[in-house]
């Protein structure tokens, strides 16, 4: 089944940019303490129309009395953001997951550089609030097509200090995307670099950091990377042994491994089914994994210690999972 949910209620909604609304969610039971989280975390919203969508938390949450997320009304919506913008109202009950964090902030870094593209500001907004609280040195570059698409602009401007600098890049005024080599090259190798935005920006950011030999690179994706969707070879089968239960399954690459686990009665946590939320990450004890997720770094893939069972399979004939 899906990961356990918390009963919540939509307490508030406000417009924070063109086609972007901020949602404030509180526990339906006022005596229930929401789990704490660190900047970069996200939660799943279980919507009344049956869809489950993940959104970054925009408030720092050491002891949260609410969770705040921001949602863009995506013109290519598959039903999630459209439902939120057009159907949700204050007072609507919602199921939400506990926070998960795949995009952690290094609070001890000597300097942080954060690049946001459009709605990609959401996890970075939580990060800069925390960096401001700590008095840490940071540069935040926010990119958008025009000023009307800048979410949380007034709030970000209020955080500016000698330690925390805000730079705005508007494509309509600049005539094109930012010069990443100039922006990134101005910082030393000890800087931690964060980026969240559309795939072309993420790819350019990652490539530029690699070209400049900048090692501390952190990315957050809102959609699966195109390479993760590359076609698999002809369907084949492999065996999966579940170490804790002793079950042995025969799995075909023609269907998600997650589906085979669920069909066998395994209580496997899951949410997005796209390899981007991390809910289904499962420890691997044996087997060579064909990683198809958009979460694990190359070093984590090479270590072969875990896999996202919603999208990934096994290249070898046998797989042993710590289940």
For position 266, what pLDDT does the model report? Answer: 93
Q: Is residue 1 part of a domain?
A: no
Q: Which long-range contacts (CB under 8 A, 24 or more apart) does 209-215 make?
A: 209/184, 211/181, 212/181, 212/184, 212/185, 213/189, 214/184, 214/187, 214/189, 215/189
Answer with the one of 220, 255, 278 that is the final residue of a domain: 220
For position 213, what pLDDT does the model report? Answer: 96
Kindly give the confidence (pLDDT) of every residue in the chain, 323 residues in length, as a single tens digit, with 9 standing for 90 and above: 445 799 999 999 999 999 999 999 999 999 999 999 999 999 999 999 999 899 999 999 888 999 999 999 988 777 889 999 999 999 999 999 999 999 999 999 999 999 999 999 999 999 999 999 999 999 999 999 999 999 999 999 999 999 999 999 999 999 989 999 999 999 999 999 999 999 999 999 999 999 999 999 999 988 777 755 566 678 899 999 999 999 999 999 999 999 999 999 998 888 888 888 888 999 999 999 999 998 887 778 999 999 999 999 999 999 999 99
Same domain, 273 and 198: no
Answer with the one of 64, 79, 101 that is the final residue of a domain: 101
Half-sphere exposure of 96 (CA within 13 A, CB side): 27
DSSP for 196-211? Answer: ES-HHHHHHHHHHHHH
Same domain, 118 and 216: yes
Same domain, 188 and 241: no
- What CATH number corresponds to the domain at position 40? 2.40.30.10
The CA distance from 95 to 44, in Å, is 8
For position 1, what pLDDT does the model report? Answer: 41
Q: Is residue 106 part of a domain?
A: no
Answer with the one of 202, 220, 238 that is the final residue of a domain: 220
For position 231, what pLDDT does the model report? Answer: 63
The pTM of this model reads 0.86
Task: List the domain range (segments joined by +) for residue 204.
Answer: 112-220
Length reported for the chain: 323
The CA distance from 312 to 229, in Å, is 11
Q: Write out the H or E segment, with its range, that includes residue 141.
A: strand 138-144
What are the start-end ranges of the H helices in 51-109?
Answer: 80-87
Cβ proximity of 37 and 61 under 8 Å: yes
Q: Is residue 240 part of a domain?
A: yes
How far CA 286 is from CA of 8, 10, 241, 243, in Å, comes to 40, 44, 9, 10
For position 76, what pLDDT does the model report? Answer: 76
Same domain, 81 and 34: yes
For position 204, what pLDDT does the model report? Answer: 96
């Amino acid at each position: 089944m899906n990961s356990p949910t918390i009963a919540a209620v939509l307490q508030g909604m406000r417009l924070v940019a063109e086609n972007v609304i901020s949602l404030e969610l509180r526990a339906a039971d006022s005596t229930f303490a929401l789990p704490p989280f660190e900047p970069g975390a996200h939660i799943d919203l279980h919507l009344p129309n049956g869809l489950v969508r993940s959104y970054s938390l925009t408030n720092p949450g050491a002891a949260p009395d609410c969770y705040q997320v921001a949602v863009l009304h995506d013109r290519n919506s598959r039903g999630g953001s459209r439902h939120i913008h057009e159907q949700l109202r204050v007072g609507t009950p919602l199921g939400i997951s506990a926070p998960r964090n795949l995009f952690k902030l290094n609070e001890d870094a000597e300097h942080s550089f954060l690049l946001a593209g459009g709605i990609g500001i959401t996890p970075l907004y939580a990060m800069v609030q925390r960096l401001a609280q700590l008095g840490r040195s940071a540069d935040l570059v926010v990119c958008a097509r025009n000023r009307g698409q800048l979410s949380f602009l007034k709030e970000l401007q209020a955080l500016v200090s000698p330690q925390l600098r805000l730079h705005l890049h508007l494509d309509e005024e600049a005539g094109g995307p930012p010069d990443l080599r100039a922006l990134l090259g101005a910082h030393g190798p000890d800087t931690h670099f964060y980026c969240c935005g559309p795939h072309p920006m993420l790819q350019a950011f990652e490539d530029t950091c690699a070209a400049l030999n900048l090692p501390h690179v952190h990315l957050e994706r809102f959609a699966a990377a195109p390479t993760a969707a590359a076609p698999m070879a002809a369907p084949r089968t492999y065996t999966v042994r579940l170490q804790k239960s002793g079950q042995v399954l025969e799995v075909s690459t023609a269907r998600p491994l997650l589906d085979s686990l669920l069909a066998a009665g395994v209580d496997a946590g899951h949410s997005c089914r796209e390899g981007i939320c991390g809910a289904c990450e499962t420890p691997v004890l044996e087997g060579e994994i064909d990683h198809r997720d958009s979460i694990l770094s190359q070093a984590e893939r090479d270590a072969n210690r875990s896999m996202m069972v919603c999208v990934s399979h096994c290249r070898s004939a046998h797989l042993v999972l710590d289940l």
